Amino acid sequence: MINGKTITELAEARKSIRTYSSKSIPSELMKELENKIAGSSNPFSIPVSFFILSKDQYDLRSPVLKGETYYIAGKVKKEPYAEEAYGYAMEELVLFLQANDLGTVWLGGTFGREAFEKAIGLEADAFMPCVTPFGYPAPKMSLRETLMRKGVKADTRLPADQLFFENDFSSPLSPEHGTEAAFEAVRLAPSAVNKQPWRIVRQGSSYHFYLVRSLKETEPDMQKTDMGIALCHFVLALEETGIKTEVIIKDPGISCPENTEYRFTVCTQTA
């Protein structure tokens, strides 16, 4: 729960915001965001550093945005699961902002990377997978934003029976009582080009996460970042119903469809 809203409610309410109003953000809320950043963690125990940047101070630009004044950008050392760690940690900030009525949009491609990397002092052994602006949404979307949303069918998601499975990839999962909301929170998660690359196979109290690769693998990789975002929704939604989680990396060896890769497992225990 954040500000009395469940993770699934926040996942339902969130959508990418690319057009911002000029309403200023209260200083107490900025302070809360700074505290949230200072306390940021992720299940991979990979340190991620975040920075709040003012657009004008660093001359930051994105051709898809209108009216934005602040951004969050972050960096993480290049290592296995760095993108998942980044995705998890930044999505926690996105949900916090959503709970406070502030809009965001994950940006991995359509922004001037160089100015951001310079502003955060990016080292050669680290990368900055994505950034997000944040601010109050404008009452009306720009025409460009409306067209972009149509282009990636941003308001649609795959049905649960194509995403979540029982024991192996051959039978769809019927989530047991208490976990439905967590699966729905994953289904509604944002992903690069809305490709929804996450699949989950449940085996008993273990939930194996797989990546269906549909975008070219890059460094940093957008679809691994998507996996971290989905994990964030899943873990936070389970934990708020009293289910304890631990994330491990141990391939169960389930036979996978084409272009599908095991990434990690969420082990659960009812408290």
Ligand X SMILES: Cc1cc2nc3c(=O)[nH]c(=O)nc-3n(C[C@H](O)[C@H](O)[C@H](O)COP(=O)(O)O)c2cc1C
Which residues are near ligand X by CB under 6 A?
15-16, 64, 105-110, 130, 148, 152, 154, 190-194, 222, 225-226, 229
| Minimum CB distance to ligand X smaller for 142 or for 194 | 194
Give least dist CB 253 to ligand X, A: 28
Give least dist CB 188 to ligand X, A: 7
| Minimum CB distance to ligand X smaller for 9 or for 166 | 9
Give least dist CB 27 to ligand X, A: 28
| Minimum CB distance to ligand X smaller for 115 or for 148 | 148
Count other C-beta atoms under 10 Å from residue 84's C-beta. 31
Give least dist CB 222 to ligand X, A: 5
| Minimum CB distance to ligand X smaller for 191 or for 268 | 191
Give least dist CB 147 to ligand X, A: 11
| Minimum CB distance to ligand X smaller for 67 or for 190 | 190
List, as one string, the DSSP characters of the chain: -BTTB-HHHHHHH-----BB--PPPPHHHHHHHHHHHHT---TT---EEEEEEEHHHHT---TT-BS--EEEEEEEESSTTHHHHHHHHHHHHHHHHHHTT-EE--BSSSS-HHHHHHHTT--TTEE---EEEEEPBPSS--HHHHHHHHHTTTT----GGGTEEESSTTSB--PPTTTHHHHHHHHT---GGG---EEEEEETTEEEEEEE--S---SS-HHHHHHHHHHHHHHHHHHTTTEEEEEE---------TTEEEEEEEEEEE-
HSE-up (13 A, CA, CB side) for residue 90 = 37
Give least dist CB 80 to ligand X, A: 18
Question: What is the C-alpha to C-alpha distance for residues 194 and 222, in angstroms, rounded to an integer?
Answer: 11
Closest residue to ligand X, judged by C-beta, is: 190
Give least dist CB 252 to ligand X, A: 26
| Minimum CB distance to ligand X smaller for 154 or for 256 | 154
User: Residue 26 carries which side chain, given as an amino acid letter?
Assistant: P
| Minimum CB distance to ligand X smaller for 132 or for 179 | 132
